[in-house]
Chains A and B, each alone.
Chain A
């Protein structure tokens, strides 16, 4: 099945700095989702991207899907302590039918220093 590489694995930032995590694939993706997992918590859906070149914003979070649909990014402007956690990209399994569920990237741990 399709795989996705997520970088970086860890990111330390000072509060107020920006943060970006990237997901890359060698094959064209039909869609990509982003999830956030707070320390000790469970993954929570943030957004789904489907269209080539798509850009979506949620307050300080900006999500992009590449023109070739082989990469995606999540950018957080002016990080706050509430942004701490692990951010995962995920691909829908079996988009053409068959399997169900998600294939996850390994995640980026965001650590914020006050």
Chain B
């Protein structure tokens, strides 16, 4: 089944404890993104990647890092999490080329930073 997977789905952690949220897609998509969703603010892009080793900042990159060493994986790294990073996180991917621009979203990771 074509899908985007994220792990963990739920995480409660403490301020300053480094964490990684994994994202993997099995559709051979070139493009991947991370979004965070907060009440009243909708979804905002954190980082995106256009291909292996090609990443760039979205609208809210502060406090986050990403890497794209393999085409299928796009982990989100919080080196020193803070309470304002408590949020619902979504990874998404899409194929390359022009035309339809559908984004395929993962199931989400609910992160709480105490």
Binding site for B on A (CB under 8 A): 1, 31, 33, 35, 41-45, 48, 88, 92-93, 99-107
Residues in B whose Cβ lies below 8 Å from that of A45: 102-104
Additional A-B contact list (4), CB under 8 Å, known A99-B58, A104-B42: A33-B102, A101-B58, A101-B103, A102-B45
Question: Nearest Cβ in chain B — how far from A98, in angstroms?
Answer: 9
Which residue of the partner chain, among A42, A93, A106, contacts B90 with CB atoms under 8 Å?
Answer: A42
Question: Nearest Cβ in chain B — how far from A37, in angstroms?
Answer: 9
Closest 9 CB pairs of A and B: A106-B42, A101-B33, A42-B105, A104-B43, A45-B102, A101-B48, A101-B45, A100-B48, A104-B42
Residues in A whose Cβ lies below 8 Å from that of B106: 42
Binding site for A on B (CB under 8 A): 31, 33, 35, 40-45, 48, 50, 56, 58-59, 90, 92, 100-108
Residues in A whose Cβ lies below 8 Å from that of B90: 42-43
Whether A100 lies near B102 (C-beta < 8 A) is no
Question: Nearest Cβ in chain B — how far from A20, in angstroms?
Answer: 19
User: In the complex, what distance in Å separates the CA atom of A45 from the CA atom of B93?
Assistant: 12
Given known contacts A102-B45, A106-B40, is B105 in contact with A48 (CB within 8 Å)? no
Question: Nearest Cβ in chain B — how far from A19, in angstroms?
Answer: 19
Residues in B whose Cβ lies below 8 Å from that of A107: 42
Question: Nearest Cβ in chain A — how far from B53, in angstroms?
Answer: 15
Given known contacts A31-B101, A102-B103, is B108 in contact with A42 (CB within 8 Å)? yes
Residues in B whose Cβ lies below 8 Å from that of A104: 35, 42-44
Question: Nearest Cβ in chain B — how far from A74, in angstroms?
Answer: 15
Residue of B nearest to A92 (CB): B101
Whether A44 lies near B105 (C-beta < 8 A) is yes
Residues in A whose Cβ lies below 8 Å from that of B100: 48
Question: Nearest Cβ in chain A — how far from B61, in angstroms?
Answer: 12
